[in-house]
Amino acid sequence: MKTLIIAIVSCLVFITGCTNLVLKPADFGWPVESVLKVDNNGMVMEKRYSFSFNTRELFLDETSDSSGFRGKDLRLIRDNKGYYFITANNFKNVYVFYPDNGSLVMSNKIAITDSTGMTNPAFNQRPPYIELIYNTDNKLYLNNDGIFEEKTR
């Protein structure tokens, strides 16, 4: 009986020691969007958050031109769940990414316009959503799954 109790206690200690530490709640949201200038190598860097990534594949997907990043600015914001929302002037889509092992992995590609790209897109934090304002009079509320609500001003 004594060995059974010791075995059970040992197993419980071992199992408890193997569980992941979870700190919650956690809010990963950035209060305002970042407007990032793409350099000649296709890289953007946000010094405030010590964050950088290569944009070539993003521009290739959006414009079918791997050098389409030259002279462009990206608009970037992070929601409270930790998803990154990225778009740019003349983009037709908002791209949603999550971080994974030193890279950004696309979670969703949200179609915003059909034929012409957005003009003057801007992101705002509106927890639990990301507000997208574009083409002066259009406003969308987004989450990582897509469009939550559409409004016109």
Each residue's pLDDT tens digit in the chain (153 positions)?
667 677 666 655 566 556 788 888 888 888 889 999 999 999 999 998 888 999 999 999 999 988 889 889 999 999 999 999 999 999 999 999 999 999 999 999 999 998 889 999 999 999 999 999 999 889 999 999 999 976 655
| Amino acid type, 77 | I
SS3 90: coil
**At CB < 8 A and 24+ separation, what contacts does 112-115 make?**
112/87, 112/140
The whole model's pTM is what? Answer: 0.83
Residue ranges per structural domain of the chain: 27-152
Rg of the chain's alpha carbons, rounded to an integer? Answer: 21
Helix (H) or strand (E) holding 54: strand 51-54
